[in-house]
Amino acid sequence: MPELPEVQTQVDDLQVLVGKKFLDVRTDSEKIFKMPYKIFVQEIRGLKIKSIKRRAKFLLFFLSKKKILIVHFRMTGHFLIDAEDPYIRATFEFSDGTILHYSDIRKFGCVCLSEVDTYEKKYGFDKLGVEPLEDEFTFDKFKEIIKGHKGTVKPFLLSQKFIAGIGNIYADESAFIAGIHPLAKLDKLPLKKQEALYNAIRESLTRGVENRGTTIGEYVDTKGERGKNQYSLFAYKRKGLPCLKCGTEMQRIVVVQRGTTFCDKCQKMY
């Protein structure tokens, strides 16, 4: 699934598009455009890409004329440059001939065009939590965020309004690395475990980025190449396999409708 590391990998790859000008767009799946497709094409033609950034799991293309292209991959979306697969839903052509494909098996992803001045309010970017790999996400900041938080660890990690960019893979990994049960109550965690969780979040996400993402289903980079982080996972999708720390069989439960894998012995409730 595209989470922070996968989206970051794509954004890094997409930097080759900065400075290019949109010439045309084609699609056979108009529904992924969150506005009338014809208007979208009309508006984006001739606009130039000034910069490409990531916020949470969103890709933000800052364009000329104060426009912004916002893309979310949801479960199975990704971009391809000079590469193809059977699930291309939209194709962007640039004035220099460069071709950018948007591929998405499930078609849950979305693409829309907005205004630089208003998109944050319009799409709720102002409600997103802190970026976990930025310098501002210190342990002090983390303690502040969890202060008075009554909920449990996994739903907290998945919610985008406290910390942005974590999904099912990195939530399970973070809880495992910290040695905390996914259903442990946040306000019951001793200080040392809070610190362990903070470090685990940074560690799992950083490793994910270094490994260019986790490819278990379909995620690939813009060249269609697989990530390598699936070889470094401790918990995600390891149900029934021996825990890599203690050898105990890994358990699977469902939390907020997400499959959740953990080690009963290594991950405690406190």
Active site residues: 2-3, 57, 258
Interface with DNA (CB under 7 A), residue from 48, 74, 226, 228 = 74
DSSP at 29: -
Size of the site for DNA (CB under 7 A): 31
Q: Is 107 in the site for DNA (CB under 7 A)?
A: yes
Q: Is 56 in the site for DNA (CB under 7 A)?
A: yes
- Nearest Cα neighbor of 162 from 109, 201, 200, 108 is 201
The Cα 236–Cα 216 span in angstroms is 10
Tell me the sheet residues that pair with 258.
Answer: 255
Alpha-helical runs (H) found in 67-190: 119-122, 139-146, 153-158, 168-178
Interface with DNA (CB under 7 A), residue from 31, 38, 65, 122 = 31
Closer CB to DNA, residue 47 or residue 263? Answer: 263
The Cα 64–Cα 44 span in angstroms is 10
Query: Amino acid identity, residue 111?
Result: V
Terminal Cα-to-Cα distance of the chain (whole angstroms): 30
Q: Is 3 in the site for DNA (CB under 7 A)?
A: yes
Q: Is 259 in the site for DNA (CB under 7 A)?
A: yes
Instruction: State the Cα angle at 71 between 67 and 77, rounded to 5°.
Output: 155
Closer CB to DNA, residue 167 or residue 208? Answer: 167
Q: Is 105 in the site for DNA (CB under 7 A)?
A: yes
**Closest separation in Å from C-beta 8 to DNA:** 14
Closer CB to DNA, residue 29 or residue 98? Answer: 29
Q: Is 55 in the site for DNA (CB under 7 A)?
A: no
- Work out the number of other CB atoms within 10 angstroms of the CB of residue 1: 19
Show contacts with DNA in window 110-139 (CB under 7 A).
123-124
**Closest separation in Å from C-beta 73 to DNA:** 8
CB 233 within 8 A of CB 143: no
CB 205 within 8 A of CB 170: yes
Q: Is 160 in the site for DNA (CB under 7 A)?
A: yes
Give the binding range for DNA (CB under 7 A) out of 9-17, 145-153, 188-196, 206-214.
145-153
Q: Is 68 in the site for DNA (CB under 7 A)?
A: no
Q: How would you classify residue 44: left for phi > 0, otherwise alpha for psi between -120 and 50, otherwise beta? A: alpha
Interface with DNA (CB under 7 A), residue from 25, 49, 90, 169 = 169
- Applying CB under 7 A, which residues contact DNA? 1, 3, 31, 56-58, 72, 74-75, 87, 105-108, 123-124, 148-152, 155, 158, 160, 167-169, 256-259
